[in-house]
Chain A
Amino acid sequence: MSVELDVFVGNTTIMDEEVYQFWLDGYTVNDAVKVRMEGGVLEECEASAEVLRSDTMDQYRTFQMCERLLHSPAKLANQLLFQIPPHRQAMLIERYYTFDGVFVREVLGKKLSKGTKKDLDDVSAKTGVTLKSCRRQFDNFKRVFKVVEELKGPLVENIRQHFLLSDKLARDYAAIVFFANNRFETGKKKLHYLTFQDFAFCAGQLIIVHCNHSRVLMRPALIGKEFLQDLKELKILITDKDLLDQHKSLVCTALRGKTKAFNEMEANFKNLSRGLVNIAAKLTNTKDVRDFFIDLVEKFIEPCRSDKWTAGDMRLYLTHYTNSAHILDTFKHQVVWDRYMGVIKSCILKMYHD
């Protein structure tokens, strides 16, 4: 005797969160049944493996039917096919758009193209996330990208409204979209120690203002047109020998006796300063933008780390480094400097860990 057809349809759609997670994670029905059995639902409800299998199949089918609606979450609220209470709808959407940190780390900054999608099996093998789940996550990134690309207004808010996501998730998506649009390099070995959350934080710092069309705007906030020239002007800090020395002495005076790493700071000041200011100047060139993170690590974070600066040292140094520039009488670009250093400082502080 074999079951040829087996369906269960409730007036209110029955969904088990645990099974939903298995489905999202790309488990096959068999695997999900296995895991559920180990989980002990059986003893709890005096059911057999057969019952569990039938239930899992049913739910998988339901999710498959819902998937189309989840692609445009607003539809879920006014479709008539499934009667799902609003808080369950919110759960379905949120979980559907939730992604794995390890997976997103692999595709972060890559072009969301068919080519990348083809390589997902490698990503799957590397991260241990099932291919099915990888595809869903990748398609989600792509879908969000496609929708917000056409929209005006603030990026995070657009994502939140269109996909009915929580604020946190909307911010993460904004970061992903931002990275994909600017093709930031995140895959180099030196950057491996950085997590998605590090990058997402930096992206949040970089995306500040949005006004016109997002195609343009998804560039780092620092590259506003009015800014381009100003950023170049910062170069004076390293090109003008007097200014550089003056800056160094101001910073050293302030730091003396406050940190164990003072000697290293003093010795490296010029190199570090050159690194930071060069990054600012490089930002004006669209092509070089993608090297932002690698530059930051190579030119600044790595030297400091090899000198064994603590996080506190770093904070102290950057604070004084930024503030001392205000005292320089010949330095006229205070506003740009503050804005630039504000972003850079918080990025470095976030990125400065093992």
Chain B
Amino acid sequence: MPGKLKAKIVAGRHLPVMDRASDLTDAFVEVKFGNTTFKTDVYPKSLNPQWNSEWFKFEVDDEDLQDEPLQITVLDHDTYSANDAIGKVYIDIDPLLSSEAATVISGWFPIYDTIHGIRGEINVLVKVDLFNDLNRFRQSSCGVKFFCTTSIPRCYRAALVHGFVEELVVNEDPEYQWIDRIRTPRASNEARQRLISLMSGELQRKIGLKVLEMGGNAVVGYLQCFDLEGESGLVVRAIGTACTLDKLIPGSASNTNTHPNTAPASNACNSPSKEIKEPVFSEDPTHPLSVPPTPLRTLPSSSSPPPFSPSKLCSRQSSSSDTDLSLTPKMGMGSGISVGKEAGPLKTLLRQQAQSALEQREFPFFTLTCFPPGFLVHIGGVVSARSVKLLDRIHNPALGNTRSYKLLDWNSVAADEPETRDAWWEEIRQEIKSHAKALGCHAVVGYSESTTIWYITHTILRPTSISSEEVCILSASGTAAMLNPRFMREGCLDAGGSDQRLSRQPPLGMVGSERAEGEVSSSWLGFDDASPPSCGFCHIPYDEFNMPFPAQLTYCYHCRRQKVPDVLFTTIDLPAEAAVTGKGCLIQARLCRTKKKAQGEVNATAISNLLPFMEYELHTQLMNKLKLRCMNALFGLRIQISVGENMLLGLASATGVYLSALPAPGGIQIAGKTPSDLSYDQHISTMQKRINDTIAMNKELYNIHPPECIEEVVGSPIPDRQRSRLFRSTSESSDELSELDLSHGKKDAFVLEIDDTDAVEDIQSLLTDAPMPAGFYSCNTEVMPGIYNWTSGLQMFTSVRVYRLNNANLTNQGLNKIFTDLCENLLKSLYFKLRSMIPCCLCHLNFTVAVPEEELIQVAVTAVAMSFDKETQLAADKALNKGSGENEEQLQFSMELCGESTSSNNQPTAKPSGLPESAMTHSSSRASSSERCSPLPEVRSRSLRSTRSLPCGAPVTVVKMTPLSFLPRTRIVKYLGIINMFFIRETTSLREEGGVSGFLHSFIAEVFAMVRAHVAALGGNAVVSYSMKECVFMENPNKNQAQCLINVSGDAVIFVRESDQEAIPPLITCGQTSTTGADGTT
């Protein structure tokens, strides 16, 4: 009995008029938790009632605390008839259960009704008194922190990364229960909302238990999804990465106890002044020094990199001090393993160690996409698996006589049910694991799972249709990788752990790195072939004489020591330390394929037959587009395949970049098969010219000016052929596993044969991609490589479009064209909408496609537009170009001192940071000017608060939202807990609400409002890692009805703004950094 939940209902405002006669409302509130309900008094005749109730106290198990939401219902008292419900508020009290998150929930919540939307607001106070329960057999997992963020959260340090956790729970969908035929839509929606809330609470608790078992205290990269399987039920599943996180408390040596030797270092780096400076846009892989008593000790203060320094500077910097570091070999020794060392026998050694560390794990998967420096050793490539399943009605004896939608007790009932789904996923994960192994990797990072369900939706609105023939595609994908086992081993922590401040972007003012350490240890050990951090991850993990697929290998263009592939596809974010040339850009492959209408097994077979072709074509498209942009690597690759009644849609999105370590991509050549025809030749040459022009233009646009490389062909023993890193397989229920070789059997430049109609289509799609308007950049990863000087202006948005294909008999080409246009038009609209934010970058552009009905295509996008400072950017670009020029010269003589050469390479990048004042003032003026212009970015919250007071109390707290894990120019000081909300909205007066667009527009606005209100009530001012995971929209215009389900999630945080003065000191010190760096070189 370890918890007491207390709630107080303070007041309401803007309530709807419930009594037509008086134009007023007699409101009262029911507060319900579990099976206990309390009521406030009726506050008669007011639209702004002041209940000021007593504290309602619920004494409950912590298990219930985790599962159940607090349910607040506002009603209108009616003496003669039944009381009318005004609306409800569900409050997830999970954030109150962790000591480090929120302590009280207090604020105005929108009162939500599934039929009418938001109807006024209610002010509520909630507290929890938790008694510690040390019972080992407890069912609860209070205190385990959850993060949606797919990197180590900003104010934490990962002591240990335990690995993959997953769980799923299944229940019958209330929408499909017999009782649904007699109850109101409102009751049905509410039952569903409540059930999902319960299920996600339960799921979180169960995952928490697993984490505790593993010895962790947090789940990072928590990804929860719903599968609305219609008749077959409702599945809520989640995956995540279990970690042990230590909170970094600025100014205190909180870690002293656990890691005695880190104390001074973490002290130094956590001193408040430094911590504050952390510029979010700096990508520096710096972290505290592990051993303070070295000559390097001065570094933390002297070598903080500039806020807009490109990633390389710092790591380079530290490695340039090799000589100093090597005086302290203890570090290398202490860690017990030589990190970053891949050559010869060491490679095998490393693999063995890593394997033993990971072997205990069933699935060495990590949902993280950003990693602490040193975590990622090598990347193999993308691994994915898909499986087509036929859903049958979940047979559950208990459901037959269950009349309530209470969560089933899985301990007593039908435990085999969730296991079916478990088995499906298990199968897929095994496949992924084996693919990774084939790539010579022992782990999968950037791992995610998704499902696409196709149901017959014609009669989706009540009365619910009885359809049983549903097909579901389960997909999983990730990036095969070699990881540094140190992060997963308890024993190594003492020595190695000390320097692992695993947050992705550690505060400025810390320097030294385990990268440095890795190199130190290597130099100390006498090896001269350490992998520098900026290219190490590109080096192949597999054996070059025994490659899993044909590939063209060259020596790394960065360190010239290790082999690298010519293209690299990954699902993770660009590592902070990666050396990149120019900027990146969003690359999308879009594909539409017709499919015969079918049912059941025939349908499933048809789909699974089409899948490999779709994947192949998507892959080809990606490759072409990548080359057209003169880039050689893809990050954040996400392939989505949706099923419709008569077509399949494939959408692959990724961010293309030019990795300096990889060879320059060859161009694209067009070849005709009948060269005799003259006019035909001409046609080909014009095409070729257009392509070449586009490539040249793109090089300019993305600022890609790679150093002219002396092509030393290292050639793999295998004939160089165009290869692909995409390892995929499709399996049906029958478990058939196939692996396709996606190689294109051509040499050198990519050759497209134009005789092939597919090729014509490919070229068309290549060239129809409209260029982005000037001042815009886009990517689907956390940040855009090549842009560092973000301003605080940002605008998160969601856009949804549904298109109707009017002519039913479309060819594949026709469909493709439509689908491509549709995506392009949507992007164009976004650019137009956000034009006032120029120069800006659309980050984390996340597209979701669906085929809700025959002839309908739905595309939903959530992203954030962030503006950056043009002038400093120009300076940075210039410096970079210059830098690459210098680098070229340097390369000639510094081949073996790779650390040094890279440091000089990066020195120029420090130059832009040399103009601190002008940069700063400019950016701040930009921020203020952007407030004036019309479609405005979000305004500083401070200025908002200080503006004129309006009569009705304090203005609403401004809550920023972003799909990224950070907010530029701010520092996250506290994580308040996970936000995971599910809403249903329905209408029976679609036309009156402005049609489908009006209906969805207000629903999305309402969802935003409810998320903001919850965050504000927790005391937060932002949501990071926000995502809209589900947006299921159904309409029946004939009945004037529509229904929509939205699921959103994110992390509620408190951020503080970095003031300009605070940001300047690191700039000054950065000057010193480069000096030190130079010293190191000479």
Contacts and interface: CB of A to CB of B under 8 A. Distances in A.
A240 interface: no
Given A1-B805, A11-B797, A51 B832 contact: yes
B964 interface: no
B108 interface: yes
B955 interface: yes
Contact of B802 (A3, A54, A88): A3
A87 B1009 CA distance: 20
Interface stretch (B544-552, B629-637, B990-998): B990-998
A75 B801 CA distance: 31
Contact of A45 (B773, B801, B937, B1006): B773
B952 interface: yes
A74 interface: yes
A50 B770 CA distance: 15
Nearest to B958: A83
A79 B109 CA distance: 10
A199 B1006 CA distance: 45
Q: Which of A5, A13, A75 has the most CB of B within 10 A?
A: A5
Contact of B829 (A13, A51, A77, A83): A51
A1 to B, nearest CB: 5
A74 B951 contact: yes
B1015 to A, nearest CB: 11
B1005 A82 contact: yes
B121 interface: yes
A38 interface: no
A6 B801 CA distance: 4
Size band of the B side of the interface? 35 or more
Contacts of B183: none
Contact of B950 (A11, A14, A45, A74): A74
Interface string B807-844: 00000000000100110010011111101000000000
Interface stretch (B643-651, B777-785, B928-936): B928-936
A80 B773 contact: no
A77 B110 contact: no
A233 interface: no
Interface stretch (A56-64, A188-196, A223-231): A56-64
B53 interface: no
Given A46-B773, A65-B1005, A85-B931, A12 B950 contact: no
Given A14-B795, A77-B955, A50 B825 contact: yes
Chain A interface residue number, banded: 35 or more
Nearest to A14: B935
Contacts of A6: 800-802, 997
B828 A51 contact: yes
B799 A8 contact: yes
Interface string A84-124: 01111000000000000000000000000000000000000
Tell me which of B798, B825, B829, B961 has the highest count of chain A C-beta atoms within 10 A of its own C-beta.
B829
A310 to B, nearest CB: 45
Given A9-B798, A55-B829, A2 B947 contact: no
Interface in A31-73: 44-48, 50-52, 54-55, 57-58, 61-62, 64-65
A15 interface: yes
Nearest to B1033: A5
Interface string A160-176: 01001000000000000
A329 interface: no
B636 to A, nearest CB: 22
Contacts of B939: 12, 85
Contacts of A11: 795-797, 938, 959-961, 1008, 1012
A10 B795 CA distance: 7
B835 A45 contact: yes
B1002 interface: yes
B799 A64 contact: no
A9 B797 contact: yes
A12 B806 contact: no
B122 to A, nearest CB: 11
A46 B832 CA distance: 8
A75 B950 CA distance: 10
B527 interface: no
B1001 interface: yes
B413 interface: no
A354 interface: no
Contacts of A52: 832
A4 to B, nearest CB: 4
B803 interface: yes
A125 interface: no
B829 A7 contact: no
A17 interface: yes
Interface string A127-161: 00000000000000000000000000000000001
Nearest to B837: A14
Given A14-B795, A50-B825, A80-B121, A5 B958 contact: no
A9 B997 CA distance: 11
A78 interface: yes
Contacts of A80: 108, 110, 118, 121, 956, 1009, 1012-1013
A2 B806 contact: yes
B803 A78 contact: no
B460 interface: no
Given A7-B1000, A50-B825, A65-B1005, 11 more contacts: A1-B822, A2-B806, A3-B804, A6-B801, A15-B935, A47-B829, A64-B994, A75-B952, A77-B956, A83-B959, A164-B950
User: Which 9 A-B residue pairings sit nearest by Cβ, starting from the closest?
Assistant: A77-B950, A5-B802, A14-B935, A86-B947, A10-B797, A9-B1004, A85-B939, A11-B796, A7-B1001
Interface of A: 1-18, 44-48, 50-52, 54-55, 57-58, 61-62, 64-65, 74-75, 77-83, 85-88, 161, 164
6 contacts: A5-B800, A45-B831, A74-B951, A77-B955, A80-B110, A80-B1009
